[in-house]
Every structure is written in structure tokens, then in C-alpha cells.
Amino acid sequence: MRTSTSRSEPPPVTRTGRLGWWLPAAAVVAGCVLWYWHSRPAPVVDVTPRHPEVVDLRVGSFRGVHIGETTTRVARTLGQPDRWGDFPAPTHASDDAIPPSGPGEAISLDYADLAVDTKNGRVVWIVTTSPRAQTDRGVGVGDSLAIARRAYPHLTCAAHDSGSDEPWGPPFCYAHMHAGVNLELIGDPILTVIVHGTRPAAR
């Protein structure tokens, strides 16, 4: 006589059972994404204007103004400034974009995105925050500092206010180009491009 055998049915798969493996896997993936997001290197940003205004580091000039020329000639080239001051600060510049030091005992012609410092009636510093400003090696306002380090390997950087007990603020970088011409950059991304003939004095 054939006897019937009963088969045991598999337990029903519940919604919780389906999600049991998925939730830990999703947590691992999310953790990896967050780790990568925070540990990834800063992007190299190159903001190249179509028609740049060149900061010429061969002769130390910008917008037709040259290191060593007279205050009268600057005003003739650029027009009357928005203000006359004693420190190079473009009138539309943020606090972070203003140099932490200057030539000292100078008279500054301040325009919206440009400041020209004169000492004894001659240009000694040119400071610009214009997004169209760019050196002849392609380093300009808006670029990441990595672009500048690549173009000028001898660039030396410190905190914006490195003279204080606890340095703070955006990077402030310096490079000697040749006799009578130096380059300084503020920020990452770059906020300010400075060309001057002498190293800065204390503010």
C-alpha cells in the first residue's frame, strides 16, 4: 500500500526577512561614500577668463600701471580713485582678500577691484581682486592654490595672519620672481593677486 508522505513547506519570506541583508549593505555603502567625500583631495580649479587682464610679472605691471612709475601717471591711466588711503585695499574687497601687510608709510589709490600703493611718489604695490586678473603663467583670481603651486613651485605659504600667536585666515603665499618683482597670492581659491617690488613690512 502506497502511503502518502507530507512535505514540509518552507517558511514564508517576510518583508523583514527580505530587507535583513539589504540594510547593513546600504549602511556600508553609505559609510564608504561619506569617507571618500571627506578624504578626497581638493579639486584643482582653473578659472581662465576668455580675455584675461594680464598681471605681467616680467616688468611688474597691471592695467597699464607699472612698478616705479609716478602717482600722477597712475591717476592719468586709471582715473581718480574711489578713495585715497594709506593701505592697499580695493574698495569692494572682503576682509580676507585684503593683504595682512603692506609697504608702510605709503599712499594708496583704491579702486573697486584694484589698489595701487605709492611710496615717495612711485608705485611700489599693485593689488587686484578682479576675476579677470591672471598672471602670464595662467594663475588668477578664482583658481585653486594647486594651480599656483604648479606654476610657481617656489611659492611659500602661511596662514593669512601668521604674525599672531594663533595664525588664522586663508593662505597667504609669496614668491620672489626676479630683482624688483615679487608675487603674492591670498586664499584658496585665490582671492587676491599682488605684485610688488619689495617684501612686505609689518602692518
Question: Does residue 201 or residue 88 have the better pLDDT?
Answer: 88
The pLDDT score that the predictor gives to residue 30 is 58
| Tens-digit pLDDT profile for residues 39-81 | 455 678 888 888 899 999 999 999 999 999 999 999 999 999 9
Q: Is 24 exposed, middle or buried (0-12, 13-18, 19+ CB in 10 A)?
A: exposed
Q: Report the C-alpha gap between 34 and 40 in whole angstroms.
A: 10
Measured CA to CA, the distance from residue 134 to residue 192 in angstroms comes to: 10
pLDDT tens digits, 22-50: 566 665 555 555 545 444 556 788 888 88
Does the structure show a pLDDT above 90 at 143?
A: yes
pLDDT at 111 over 70: yes
Which is nearest to 113 in space by CA: 144, 91, 80, 83?
A: 91
| Sign of the dihedral through C-alpha 53, 78, 82, 58 | positive
pTM exceeds 0.85: no
pLDDT reported for residue 39: 45
Residue 138 pLDDT greater than 50, yes or no: yes
Determine the Cα–Cα distance for residues 131 and 114; give it in Å rounded to an integer: 11
Q: Which domains does the chain have, with CATH numbers?
A: 53-196 (2.60.460)
pLDDT of residue 114: 98
Joined grid coordinates for residue 151: 606654476
